[in-house]
Structure 1
């Protein structure tokens, strides 16, 4: 069972291969209910947390219309994560860059999709793959997930074997130099792509973005984060990976 919708500026696809523990309830109906809940949640996140929507909670906070004490528990959680990673990277990861508005999207994406995966689990879906613009969380397994080659859209640099895990990649190839080093305000340099596998997508996605902002030093930094395995392609094509990175098979880099 499969559904694709365009949410938060990118395609989100849901594939479900198994439903467990539902007795005589029709699997297709359970899938539809779970998928409806996922996409309704992601649309809600877009409305509440997008810095590009004037009425969002993020935009209202940025304009000074909300005080910290008036924020929702969800936004408070997201901003706490943003601050945690700002401190952990010495300011390389920063959602409040000078001359720019508050933009917590680097945390919101993984955080919200992980929440969506938890909605699916709660609905009784036990084997699924949720892919949000290339960042993936899977339940059950094993699943095979490809990592795009940073220089060729039709090639893979690795294929992962994942069970109950998440994978996120930060790179230049889709959106150019969109990740800035908060210490300098300039585009991060030194890496073509960096992929992180972790137990959940909140961790994988935020670590991947923060590490990319750090540049080449981000590879070692990401590898030191608990629960994270890393695959990085440096500028010039050199590949670095941690010993536990779950590569099922690899293509020539």
Structure 2
């Protein structure tokens, strides 16, 4: 994600959730913008403290530690997120599954030390993986696991959830135009980038070429919407000449392959992040499922082309007003939906 640099902006950033979060305002437009941005980033920090799997003191860690033994009470907003994650699990046919933490651990990606598990390890991890093993008590706002060893991991939706909360806070503070991103792969924007003049729409962000990280593949205009991109360009390991990335296919228990990057545009950042992960897992066959024709979700899937070094860009629910592919060689574009 790269914002248009020809427009003057005020950017306030901080490290959070293992990446760089930035709040981007139009310069001179919002009084006390720096203070508002700090408050928004403080909110992101507080959410990370609650949902991280890397701190034993987090609410999610407490759930993982106790829900295999007895019912665990859950805060209202976090419980609503868990319920929504179940709906996304159903929508994607299990391609998005927050209850696959045992698989992430078995493959070494929890500690960013990827490795291939033994057959026995993988069998045990798969037996403790999957949302059907998570029981949600809607009336009591409680959760329990139906067998020991289940682990919830919100890594595929947490950044987007935090960004949504920060955007909601800033909008409540009277901010009309702002963009927030986390690690450039999770983005949400409201209002207009630059002066609000006739003909200017939304915020323009760049989509990186998955094979050439310093090259922009496309420009996307976000109008009161969010963008999530999934790919395994940075977290992977090589075994016997095969690249194995950190994005798991919960249905098979193995790392997904065959896709270079998956991008989803949706009204909220949490959904964009989750559905981008699911689309990466599902591949081209999942485009119509993730971004059905005429719906509020759009998608861009980048897969290898037949020619070495070239890519095929598959799009769904996107027109020229929203998506502009950068001219260049080695890029084939196909509109699927």
User: Is the contact between residue 14 and residue 21 of structure 2 (CA under 8 Å) also seen in structure 1?
Assistant: yes
What is the DSSP-based 3-state SS (H/G/I as helix, E as strand, rest coil) of the residue aligned with 2:13? strand
Gaps in structure 1 of 5+ consecutive residues: 21-26
* Superposition deviation, residue 243 in structure 1: 4.5
Match of 1:38 in 2: 40
Give runs of ≥4 in structure 1 deviating > 3 Å.
65-69
Q: Does 1:132 align with 2:170?
A: no
Shifted more, 147-156 versus 126-135: the winner is 126-135
CA distance in 1, matches of 2:70, 2:45: 24
Match of 1:239 in 2: 313
CA distance in 2, matches of 1:174, 1:77: 31
User: Is the contact between residue 19 and residue 125 of structure 1 (CA under 8 Å) also seen in structure 2?
Assistant: no
User: CA 1:88 to 1:163, structure 2 compared with 1: closer, same or farther past 3 Å?
Assistant: closer
Match of 1:123 in 2: 173
What is the DSSP-based 3-state SS (H/G/I as helix, E as strand, rest coil) of the residue aligned with 1:126? coil
* Superposition deviation, residue 32 in structure 1: 2.7
More helix by share: 1
CA distance in 1, matches of 2:95, 2:172: 36
Q: Does 1:91 align with 2:88?
A: no
CA distance in 1, matches of 2:191, 2:251: 40
How many pairs are equivalent?
246
User: Is the contact between residue 66 and residue 72 of structure 2 (CA under 8 Å) also seen in structure 1?
Assistant: no
**How much is the aligned-residue C-alpha RMSD, in angstroms?**
2.1
Shifted more, 34-43 versus 215-224: the winner is 215-224
* Superposition deviation, residue 128 in structure 1: 1.2
From 15, 19, 41, the counterpart of 2:24? 15
User: Is the contact between residue 168 and residue 204 of structure 1 (CA under 8 Å) also seen in structure 2?
Assistant: yes
Match of 1:72 in 2: 75
* Superposition deviation, residue 48 in structure 1: 0.6
> What's the TM-score once normalised by structure 2's chain length?
0.68
Match of 1:57 in 2: 59
User: Is the contact between residue 61 and residue 67 of structure 1 (CA under 8 Å) also seen in structure 2?
Assistant: no
